[in-house]
Structure 1
C-alpha cells in the first residue's frame, strides 16, 4: 500500500466561494486590480500579525481575545462585503488545503479550465484570492440535488504568500478545533 504524501493538511470546512472562468491566467491580474496593491498587502500583513498576537492574548485573557476576535470578524466582514455584490459567493462544504480544494458544483467544468477564485473563510470572513486550474471533475455519487451534481477539484497556482499564510493558519486552527471537538465527543460518550 502506497502512503499518500501531501504538502499541506486538508480539512473539511464550510466556506463562501465565488470564481470566474478565465481564458488565460497569464493575462489576468492576480487580484483583479480592484484594490490598490499596497493596501491589499498591508491588510494581509496585518491579518497575519493579528493572528500571531491573538495566540498570546487568548492564553492570558480568553474573554478579551473573544471580543477582539469578534471585532476583527466585523472588520473583515465589512471589507469582504465590498466584493460580495459583484461576486455573489455561495456557501459550500469543501475539502481544502493551502494548495487546492474539492467541492461540489451544479455545472461540469472542463479539466484545465483556468479560474480566479475568491474564498471567504468562516467564521472570520477572511478573503483569500488565488488563481486556480480545474484538476479533476467527476459525477458526485452522493448528490441529493442538481446543486451538487459534480465534484470539482482545483489546484491553486501563484497564490500570494500572504494569502497562503492566512489559508494555512485557517486550516491548522480549524483542524485543531475539529480534533478537540472529536476528543471531547469521545470523552463524553465514555
Structure 2
C-alpha cells in the first residue's frame, strides 16, 4: 500500500492556519506588462500602510516585558498603553490613504499564505493581482501582490484563490495574529454557549 504524499505546493498551502472572515477587500488585476513595475513599487516603497503593522509587531514581541511591567509598576504600564494608542493614531494619520475598504465587504477564507473567495470578477490563472485587505475590528490594513492559483467559474460567481507572492513580514505576522485572535474569540464564544 502506497501513501500519497502532498506536493510541495500543497505543503506550502498548509503551513498556515486558515479561517473564514468578513474582510474589506479590493482586488485589482495587474497587466502582464506592468508586473515588474508593480513588484518594484511594492518592494521599493517605504510603505506607510505597513507602519501600523510594524508597530503592532514590535509590541507583540515585547509582551513578556509588558506583562512584567504591569505586575510591578501598573501606573507606568498604564501610561505606556496610552503612548501605544497615540502611536497607533499617528501611524493611521501618517498612512492617510483612503483607497482601502472602510468596512467589511467580502466573505473570504484567509491565511498568511493567501486567500480564497467567491467573486463576480473572473481572473486568469497565474495572473498577478494587487490586493488591498482590511481586517476588522482592529483596522489592520495590508497591501500585497499575489498570483491567481484557482479561478473556477461556477454559476453565477467565480471561485478564486490567490497566493501572496509579495507580502511584507510585518503584514504576514499581522494576518497570523488576526487569525489567532479570531479563532480564540470563536472558541470562547462556543465554550460560553455550551
Tell me the TM-score normalised to structure 1 length: 0.71
State the 1:169 CA deviation. 1.2
Mapped to 2, the partners of 1:129 and 1:98 lie a distance apart of 13
CA distance in 2, matches of 1:31, 1:52: 28
C-alpha offsets along residues 96-122 of structure 1, whole Å, 9 cap, x if unaligned?
000011112112111111011111111
Return 5+ residue gaps in structure 2 as ranges.
none
TM-score, with structure 2 as normaliser:
0.69
1:181, distance to aligned residue in structure 2 (A): 1.6
Residues 38 and 119 of structure 1: is their aligned pair in 2 closer, same or farther, counting only changes over 3 Å?
Answer: closer
Using the alignment, how far apart are the partners of 1:83 and 1:178 within structure 2? 31
Q: 1:108 to 1:18 in 2, by over 3 A?
A: same
- Bigger drift between 130-139 and 7-16 goes to 130-139
The size of the alignment, in residue pairs, is 172
Q: For 1:134 and 1:164, how far apart are their aligned partners in 2?
A: 18
Paired residues of 1:77 and 1:124 also in contact (CA < 8 A): no
The residue that corresponds to 1:14 in the other structure is: 22
Per the alignment, do residues 54 and 79 of structure 1 end up closer, same or farther by CA in structure 2, a change over 3 Å counting?
farther
> Deviations 1:123-171 (Å, cap 9, x if unpaired)?
1111111110111122346xxxx6xx22211111121111111111111
Query: Is 2:179 aligned against 1:165?
Result: no
For residue 28 of structure 1, report the CA deviation from its aligned partner. 1.0
| CA distance, structure 2, for counterparts of residue 44 and residue 30 of structure 1 | 21
Residue 98 and residue 31 in structure 1: after superposition, are their counterparts in 2 closer, same or farther (change >3 A)? farther
Instruction: Report the CA distance between 1:45 and its aligned residue.
Output: 2.2
Shift of 1:20: 1.8
Are 2:27 and 1:27 equivalent residues in the alignment?
A: no
Name whichever of 114-123 and 22-31 sits farther off. Answer: 22-31
Structure 1: gaps (5+ residues): none
Root-mean-square deviation (Å) = 3.6
1:151 to 2:165 alignment:
no
